[in-house]
Amino acid sequence: MGNPVIHTRPDGRRVVRLSPAKRVLYLFKDVEQIRAQLRGEASFKMAQVKPSDLLDDINTDAMTPAWVCFRHKPEDIALDAYAGLMDAHNQRVFVARALCDGGFEVIVSGQRKGTGSSRETAPQAEKWSGIGLVIAHSFAPIHARNNINLGQLMGDYEQLARLERGEELPLEEFTAKYDAVTRAMLEAGGLFEFGAKYKLGQITVAPPKNAQRPMTMAEKVIATHLVGGERDSCVKPGDACLVNVDGGYSHEFTTAQVHYFLQQEYGENYRVVNPAKFAVFEDHLLYATGVPRMRPYEAQIETLRKLQREFQLHTGVRDYSARDGVSPGICHQVAREHFVDPGDFIQATDSHTCMGGGNNALTWGVGATEYAGLIYAGFTFVKVPESIRFELTGKLAENCTAKDVILHILATFAVREDTLDRVMEFGGPGLASLSMDERATLCNMATECSARSGICEADELTFRWLEKRRPHMSESEIRARFVAPDAGAHYHGGVHTIDLAALRPMVAKPADPTYGAAVDALGAVKIDIAYAGSCTAGKEHDMDMYARVVRDALDSGRKVAPGVRMYLQFGSEGVRDYARARGYLELFQRAGVEVINPGCGACIGCGPGVSSNPEQITVSAINRNFVGRSGPGKLYLASPLTVAASAIEGRVASYKPGMFRQPAPKKS
């Protein structure tokens, strides 16, 4: 489908102009102003709008909440665009068909449009509702890439003001800011259209030819994966490259759309390259069946499962489907355990793909269109990203974890957009004090920082961890894959020293991961639910932390507080087996903790641990706390230690050894 704001003049020039019969939709912080526009009772122009009044941090859950993503055809997804944008009374701002029937062709918002999940359904909902131009102060990187892959133009406030004055702007004004390949992709109409022209030789992409320069870890991985590159190739930020992909994965939330797009583009008999290092996972919707609020969507969910099985049988990729209702685990966790190796370049259809950076690999999430293209071709387009380095020193206090480190980074650096669209590089002497699981936590939540990815330096601990999990690789083979930054590498986001010893336990307050606060400054916040687990906090070291707190409580005659339910969900079968072997399962049972088999569960709004009403308060070890993501209640993000301590205390509380020897707090 064509872009409605792009027009071709009689002389062949392509221009952007607004159609008199169409409208511009402004997404204000005051949602009643949005409703007035949807009803046709109000209209605005950029000249009269203050950017500070526009809605910031519109996440992809708000644009297409999980239940909308149960549809795999974009035209069906568009029917409920922005279904997750709620008012103060938890009522939808956009009713069904509001956007697609509204006659809009431009949509306008504030900072960091498209944060959160990598779901391409979000820009699809806009495109198939007739939107051709998206205006914002800034865009989250995966969301911006998804717009480009779909041929959606992105612009700024000044350009919109000129268009509203009746000006006609050359298409190049919207595409010239990009590299030549991205520009060609947008002007062709999207990734598939670009791919067709590339296959016919109508578009060529030569590898960068740069003089040797010191490189960051991300740059070095890309340089070694260039299509047509040399052994000593060198890249720099901004270079447009075609890059070979080592592997990747999709899950039942996304595979159906990948399969559908491949069939549409390449025919029923399409094939993929290197299926041995690509995979499908059944993890996200495992606990949807039987959940009351999911009952209306069970047929759609089963269709997604059916299409994933069809895709796996057709392609021969690795199969991590559930067996007898039990999943092998969450894709990010299982992938790092099984096949993400140092120096790899990995792409997958989930924003938390960046978790693989803890293995000294370069990994990030992509949309269904991009994944379909790369799994078919074996390579993908990359604009080399800038990097920001975090030099870790010292050692964490005994009640602090990597989750507290990343919450500090979110509240300090991400909120200023220092991390926006950059690779977060972690190194320094303090990194050696963090386990491989804790490093995975840092990289997992790079996407919450609106970063492109996260990557940790490799060391002796990296080797020992991988040696146990890669029996087919020799010591020399593992070490040869290690990637380290060059001395003198340039970091556009700067080099920032974080003294781990100076950090204290933190939470992110409800609604956004950037709303950081010290636990001890929070005051008395009583809780109803404590949720432990997820890809972020369902790893082996996380189990050690939960067990440490629970054992301390039991030794003091304490259990999970009355009126509180604590759930613990494993990240993988391997983690569950680890916990069982150490006696943790019996420990958790004695304390009143409800243990759940591996899967995404409450983090994706499915299964035990989801709040049931707006008054409930949850403290959770997951990675994001957007409104409605884990139920209608309020959700605080915290570390495994804080979640477990809070479950025992009945309020949000940081862990201190021996804290449970004091009398339990009286119920009010």
**What SS3 string covers 166-195?**
CCCEECHHHHCCCCHHHHHHHHHCCHHHHH
Q: Which two tokens stand for residue 440?
A: 């995975």
For residues 193-220, give the mean pLDDT. Answer: 92
CB 565 within 8 A of CB 527: no
C-beta separation of 235 from 224 below 8 A: no
Instruction: Report the chain's mean pLDDT, rounded to a whole number.
Output: 95
CB atoms within 10 A of CB 50: 7
Residue 603: its pLDDT value, please?
86
φ and ψ of 249, to 5 deg:
-165, 160
What is the rounded CA–CA span in Å between residue 235 and residue 208? 6
- In 3D space, the residue among 526, 336, 294 whose CA is nearest the CA of residue 439 turns out to be 336
Closest CA to 363 of 243, 465, 513: 243
Please tell me the predicted confidence (pLDDT) of residue 288. 81
**Count of H helices and E strands in the chain?**
23, 25
Q: For residue range 405-456, what is the model confidence (pLDDT) as tens digits?
A: 999 999 999 999 999 999 999 999 999 999 999 999 999 999 999 999 999 9
Contact 350, 365 (CB under 8 A): yes
Q: Is the dihedral of CA 54, 59, 62, 68 positive or negative?
A: positive
Model pLDDT, residue 46: 98
Give the tokens for residue 339. Answer: 């096949």
Backbone angles phi, psi at 76, to 5 degrees: -80, -35
Q: What is the 3-state secondary structure (H, E, C) of 74-96?
A: HHHHHHHCCCCCECCCCCECCCC
The Cα–Cα gap between 624 and 637 comes to 7
Query: Maximum CA pair distance of the chain?
Result: 83
3-state secondary structure of 99: coil
φ, ψ of residue 109 to 5 degrees: the values are -145, -170
Structure confidence at residue 66 as a pLDDT band (50, 70, 90)? confident
Q: With residue 141 as reference, give the H or E element that holds it.
A: helix 141-149
Predicted confidence band of residue 665 (pLDDT cuts 50, 70, 90): low
Residue 647: name the closest of 477, 503, 528 by CA: 528
3-state secondary structure of 288: coil
The pLDDT of residue 666: 57
Average pLDDT, stretch 90-104?
97
pLDDT in the model for residue 668: 46
Q: Is the pLDDT of residue 664 over 60?
A: no
Rounded (10°) angle between helices 640-649 and 540-555: 30
- Tell me, what's the pLDDT at 662? 67
Beta strands 247-251 and 278-281: pairing type? parallel
- Tens digit of each residue's pLDDT (9 = 90 or more) over 610-662: 999 999 999 999 999 988 889 999 999 999 999 999 999 999 999 999 999 86
pLDDT digits (tens, 9 = 90+) for 7-16: 999 999 999 9
DSSP 444-485: HTTGGGT-SEEEE---HHHHHHHHHH-TTS-HHHHHHT---P
Strands 565-569 and 23-26: unpaired
pLDDT of residue 289: 74
201-205 LR contacts (CB < 8 Å, sep 24+): 205/181, 205/240, 205/241, 205/242, 205/381
Residues in the chain: 668
| Positive or negative: CA dihedral 51, 54, 58, 63 | negative
Q: Does the pLDDT at position 90 exceed 70?
A: yes
Amino acid at site 326: V
Q: What pLDDT shows up at residue 216? A: 98
Q: Per-residue pLDDT averaged across 157-176, rounded? A: 97
Q: CB neighbours of 348 closer than 8 A, spacing ≥ 6?
A: 248, 249, 250, 331, 335, 363, 365, 366, 371
**Full set of structural domains in the chain with CATH:** 6-189 (3.20.19), 217-382 (3.30.499.10), 386-502 (3.40.1060.10), 507-661 (3.30.499.10)
153-155/247-251 β-pairing = unpaired
Q: Confidence band (pLDDT; 50, 70, 90) for 606?
A: confident
Span 554-590, pLDDT tens digits: 999 999 999 999 999 999 999 999 999 999 999 999 9
Written as one letter, the residue type at 336 is R
- The model's pTM: 0.90
Structure tokens at 154: 């992105």
Residue 360 half-sphere exposure toward CB, CA atoms < 13 A: 24
Residue 542 has pLDDT above 50, yes or no: yes
Tell me the mean pLDDT in the region 305-313.
97
For residue 666, give every residue at least 6 positions away whose Cβ sits within 8 Å of its Cβ, in sequence order, or none: none
Q: At 235, which amino acid appears?
A: V
291 vs 504: CA distance, rounded Å = 37
Radius of gyration of the chain (CA): 24
Distance from C-alpha of 46 to C-alpha of 453, rounded to nearest angstrom = 34
Structure tokens at 606: 């499915």
Distance spanning both ends of the chain, measured CA to CA: 60
Phi, psi of 104 (to 5 degrees): -100, 145
Q: Which of 215-224, 297-306, 310-319, 456-465 shows the lowest mean pLDDT across its residues?
A: 297-306
